[in-house]
Chains A and B, each alone.
Chain A
Amino acid sequence: MAEVLLDFQFASSINKVWDALTDPDTLAKWVMENDFKPVVGHKCQFRNDEWNLVVECEVLVVEEPNRLSYTWIGGPIDTVVTWTLTEESGTTRLHLEQTGFEKEDQAYNGAKYGWAGKVGELKKVLGESQE
């Protein structure tokens, strides 16, 4: 278990889901505040000041409307997030892959970001926000 693999199904069209994954204003509503742009090489940040969470990103792949990939470096983790979209008769299947967790020196990055012990706190925040 060294990666996150998740599948989602949307009743919306593939273009709508693609827009939600790439438009910074929409991303702000469902992920976090950001200065994202769907342009390969674009560097940006996702941040949530309340959680003291800053994620550094660099866009790696933009294949509208099927594939989007960017680095996701926050806390002690240095990962790559890849979204794959597939159209299925007007609905959309969304597959998420987040890889890189097992890379060596992850714990070292943890020290660098001073993030040790934050996971538990974040879990709490997320757990509460769900209720």
Chain B
Amino acid sequence: MSGKHQERDVYAAVADPTRRKLLRLLADAEELPLYELTAQFQMGRTAVSKHLAVLKEAGLVVDRKVGRETRFRLNAAPLKEIKDWIAFYEKFWTERVSVLKKMLEEE
């Protein structure tokens, strides 16, 4: 799991509805240029750029220059914490149920 600071950044980054929408748009496409992303919002390209910058800082979005335009794509790795939760609960229930088994066998 990543360090606490980066996690906080990730949570702050996805706490905003515009940024969540950006992540969803990027999740559906391989790569999108800024103007295509901007077209999905009421706000202008400067505002969308600012949101993308926050996502980039959190490591959720990667960008690259192609000619004059900047293209963005999703980097979902920081969200892998959900997988950690699954692993956690697998262990949790296995251990809890083994406690229960002991209880029932001792009765």
Chain A: residues with CB nearer than 8 A to chain B? 1-4, 6, 8, 10-12, 16-17, 20, 26, 29-31, 75-77, 79, 94, 96, 98, 101-102, 104-108, 110-111, 116-117, 119-120, 122-123, 126, 129-130
A98, B94: Cα distance in complex, Å: 12
Contact A6 B24 (CB under 8 A): no
Chain B: residues with CB nearer than 8 A to chain A? 1, 4, 7-8, 10-12, 14-15, 20, 24, 79, 81-86, 88-97, 99-101, 103-105
Contact B94 A6 (CB under 8 A): yes
Closest CB in chain A relative to B75 CB, distance in Å: 14
Q: Which of A8, A77, A96 contacts B85 (CB 8 A)?
A: A77
Contact B105 A11 (CB under 8 A): yes
Contact B85 A107 (CB under 8 A): no
A20, B106: Cα distance in complex, Å: 14
Contact B93 A107 (CB under 8 A): no
Chain A residue at smallest Cβ distance from B105: A11
Most chain A CB inside 10 Å of its own CB: which residue of B10, B83, B101: B101
Please report whether the interface of chain A is mostly helix, strand, loop or mixed according to DSSP: mixed
A6 partner residues in chain B, CB cutoff 8 A = 90, 93-94, 97
Please, could you name 12 A-B residue pairs with CB atoms under 8 Å apart, sorted by A? A1-B83, A4-B86, A8-B97, A11-B104, A26-B103, A77-B89, A96-B93, A101-B85, A111-B11, A117-B7, A122-B88, A126-B95
List the 3 closest A-B pairs by CB distance, nearest first.
Answer: A111-B11, A30-B100, A30-B99
